[in-house]
């Protein structure tokens, strides 16, 4: 076992701070700190607060005593340098207002102490009624207790959930809602375990599925209750086996490790020249370029079938060629189609052009012409049969693919093909106190205070709950007949259960050619592809949602001669302010 949850003071040792003979009692109130060295206190112990503390009692004497006891134990935890303390939440905020105030005072101070709030997964009243014949009716979900408590504590990031796993698991939707919360550990009572044929403790299939869901959040496991087997190590060995079984080690997992829920500003390759390392990472994607090659092969075959002069070379323009992966894909596709081609590799980054020129000289020779120029300013000597680009961002159009391709469109033949031929962005409402707190921590003295809530972020979403399924937002097609790339749309989402809206996750999918697609939308995600993480649009203030509510969100893609930017706002269930008006916080 890696750590223990230990009572800071003996659970039966009540102290008197108000009056009476017990107040004069001498001697220490708990064990001294020298029973462990400092490094052990720092890493191996989570302190349990005394269960008899009732700071919200109607009895003034008990209330006062409990307040002093709680302060004494929190001060001791800070003195010992514990990582955190834990206590059990058994009721809603009405019965815990004073407790939340004291905890809020503590976590708002400079101390680094975390507070793990033990919350049962299922309301104990509901569990009790499972043994009775009559129905218990509607009872409050323990998630409501936690939600109200952390709102009162202003979403403090030092608060975490220690989720007590129940015998009867709640609905799947209710379990998924916990995935959007800062769950630090799952608490397994030993009574949950059943004995297998060999006489060892195991969990039911439903509980195993629960462990798999939470494994991606890197939660800890805590075992509580009476040991019912020969050795307590049996539980440990089984839980460790379960944990290792949950670990996935695919290309996406290896690439994304360490970036879970980490906010990154989207790349701006039109404004900034990408570094060699960035090119190298994207070139390792095992899926993207094979799909591109298939699409180019099909496009070459389509053009070839219409050629009157069979000896004519097909002209392919690779715009935004980078270090040449799409040039290679084009040459491979042409070889497979047994068709001679002429490739123009257009790239504005002079450092990447060095690589292209070296490849042109040593490998590609007269098949490829390297052009060091911004594609929008280039005057092509001839028109293209096929234009190939990889200018897509996590939201499809957020790296200015429409604007860049509009600049080259005049050199596409009337029946020419663009790869990709179209792409669509998607948005979905999301609950994630982790992301909300991450955005809240951002500071930039050169920008106004709301700037970070009006910026989109690329993020590998893990610690989140999807309030509703993604819906399509903006679509762009190429060749593009429209001259205006600004867009506006309204989306309506139905809320399935009480939850908290912290922002919107964004995805995209693209049709490269015919039926060849790439997607980062969860339901159609291209297996093994890691070139794009989703995008996240935060909102300034979390919105409390009730089951049956409608979320109505408005999204704009605004353009002027120099910049493109997004604006967004909510009109239901409560009207909210426009985020990023006029591109004041973020432009592309």
Task: Report the C-alpha gap between 65 and 22 in whole angstroms.
Answer: 12
Q: Which of 420, 576, 417 is nearest to 501 (CA)?
A: 576
For the sheet with 4-7, list strands across it: 4-7, 45-48, 84-88, 114-120, 159-164, 183-189, 220-224
Q: Which two tokens stand for residue 358?
A: 């070296």
Q: Which two tokens stand for residue 290?
A: 């094979």
Task: Report the C-alpha gap between 385 and 334 in whole angstroms.
Answer: 13
Q: What is the 3-state secondary structure (H, E, C) of 423-466?
A: EEEEEEEEECHHHHHHHHHCCCCCCCCCHHHHCCEECECCCCEE
Sign, Cα dihedral of 335, 280, 345, 299: positive
The answer to whether 247 is annotated as binding is no
The answer to whether 344 is annotated as binding is no
**What does each C-alpha distance from 132 to 44, 128, 137, 336 come to in angstroms?**
41, 7, 12, 71
Task: Report the C-alpha gap between 543 and 539 in whole angstroms.
Answer: 9
The answer to whether 374 is annotated as binding is yes
Distance of CA 76 to the CA centre of its chain: 36
What 3-state class would DSSP assign to 36?
A: coil
The answer to whether 288 is annotated as binding is yes
The answer to whether 129 is annotated as binding is no
Q: Enumerate residues 6+ apart whose C-beta is below 8 A from 331.
A: 341, 343, 364, 367, 368
Task: Indicate which residue of 390, 438, 454, 567 is catalytic.
Answer: 390
What 3-state class would DSSP assign to 214?
A: helix
Task: Report the C-alpha gap between 207 and 166 in whole angstroms.
Answer: 9
Beta strand spans in 339-378 (E): 341-347, 368-372
Task: Report the C-alpha gap between 207 and 192 in whole angstroms.
Answer: 9
Q: Which of 185, 231, 245, 243 is nearest to 3 (CA)?
A: 185
Q: Are 40 and 83 in contact (CB under 8 A)?
A: no
Known active-site residue 541: no
Q: Which two tokens stand for residue 244?
A: 């290792």
The answer to whether 262 is annotated as binding is no
Q: Which two tokens stand for residue 373?
A: 């120029």
Q: Which two tokens stand for residue 521?
A: 């939308």
Known active-site residue 390: yes
Task: Indicate which residue of 67, 122, 181, 399 is catalytic.
Answer: 399
* 118 CB burial (10 A radius; 0-12, 13-18, 19+): buried
Task: Report the C-alpha gap between 152 and 100 in whole angstroms.
Answer: 7
Sign, Cα dihedral of 280, 376, 557, 484: negative
Task: Report the C-alpha gap between 192 and 209 in whole angstroms.
Answer: 14
Radius of gyration over alpha carbons of the chain, in Å?
30
Q: Are 417 and 387 in contact (CB under 8 A)?
A: yes
Query: Residues marked as binding?
Result: 279, 288-289, 347, 374-375
Give binding residues for S-adenosyl-L-methionine as ranges: 279, 288-289, 347, 374-375
Write out the catalytic residue numbers: 390, 399
């Amino acid at each position: 076992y890696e750590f223990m949850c230990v009572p800071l003071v003996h659970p039966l040792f009540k102290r008197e701070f108000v009056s009476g003979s017990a107040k004069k009692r001498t001697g220490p109130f708990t064990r001294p700190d020298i029973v462990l060295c400092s490094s052990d206190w720092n890493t191996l112990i989570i302190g349990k607060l005394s269960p008899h503390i009732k700071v919200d009692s109607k009895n003034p004497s008990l209330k006062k005593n409990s307040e002093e006891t709680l302060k004494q134990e929190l001060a001791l935890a800070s003195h010992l340098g514990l990582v955190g303390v834990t206590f059990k939440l058994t009721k809603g905020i009405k019965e815990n207002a004073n407790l939340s105030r004291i905890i809020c005072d503590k976590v708002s101070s400079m101390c680094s102490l975390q507070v793990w709030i033990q919350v049962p997964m299922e309301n104990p009243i509901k569990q009790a009624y499972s043994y009775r014949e009559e129905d218990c009716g509607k009872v409050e979900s323990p998630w409501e207790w936690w939600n109200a408590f952390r709102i009162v504590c202003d979403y403090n990031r030092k608060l975490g959930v220690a989720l007590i796993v129940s015998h009867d698991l709640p609905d799947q939707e209710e379990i998924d809602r916990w995935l959007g919360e800062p769950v630090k550990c799952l608490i397994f009572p030993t009574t949950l375990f059943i004995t297998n044929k060999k006489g060892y403790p195991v969990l039911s299939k439903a509980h195993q599925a629960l462990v798999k869901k939470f494994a991606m959040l890197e939660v800890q496991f805590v075992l509580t209750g009476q040991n019912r087997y020969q050795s307590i190590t049996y539980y440990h060995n089984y839980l460790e086996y379960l944990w290792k079984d949950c670990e996935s080690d695919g290309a996406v997992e290896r690439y994304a490790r360490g970036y879970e829920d980490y906010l990154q500003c989207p790349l701006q390759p039109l404004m900034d020249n990408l570094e060699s390392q960035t090119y190298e990472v994207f070139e390792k994607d095992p899926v993207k370029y094979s799909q591109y090659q298939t699409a180019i092969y099909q496009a070459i075959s389509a053009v070839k079938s219409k050629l009157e002069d069979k000896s004519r070379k097909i002209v392919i323009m690779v715009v935004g060629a980078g270090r040449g992966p799409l040039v290679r894909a084009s040459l491979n596709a042409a070889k497979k189609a047994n068709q001679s081609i002429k490739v123009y590799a257009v790239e504005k980054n002079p450092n990447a052009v060095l690589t292209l020129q070296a490849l042109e000289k040593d490998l590609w020779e007269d098949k490829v012409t390297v052009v060091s120029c911004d594609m929008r300013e280039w005057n092509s000597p001839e028109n293209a049969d096929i234009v190939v680009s990889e200018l897509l961002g996590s939201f499809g159009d957020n790296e200015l693919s429409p604007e860049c391709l509009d600049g080259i469109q005049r050199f596409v033949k009337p029946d020419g093909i663009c790869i990709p031929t179209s792409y669509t962005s998607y948005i979905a409402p999301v609950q994630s106190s982790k992301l909300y707190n991450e955005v809240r921590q951002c500071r930039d003295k050169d920008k106004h205070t709301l700037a970070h809530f009006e910026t989109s972020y690329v993020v590998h979403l893990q610690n989140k709950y999807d309030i509703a399924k993604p819906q399509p937002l903006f679509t762009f097609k190429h060749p593009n007949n429209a001259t205006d790339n600004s867009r506006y749309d309204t989306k309506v989402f139905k809320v399935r259960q009480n939850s908290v809206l912290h922002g919107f996750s964004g995805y995209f999918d693209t049709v490269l050619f015919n039926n060849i697609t790439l997607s980062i939308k969860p339901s159609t995600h291209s297996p093994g592809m890691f070139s794009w993480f989703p995008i996240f649009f935060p909102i300034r203030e979390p919105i409390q949602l009730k089951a049956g509510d409608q979320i109505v969100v408005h999204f704009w893609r605004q353009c002027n001669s120099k910049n493109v930017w997004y604006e967004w706002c909510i009109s239901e269930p409560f009207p909210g302010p426009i985020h990023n008006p006029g591109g004041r916080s973020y432009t592309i």
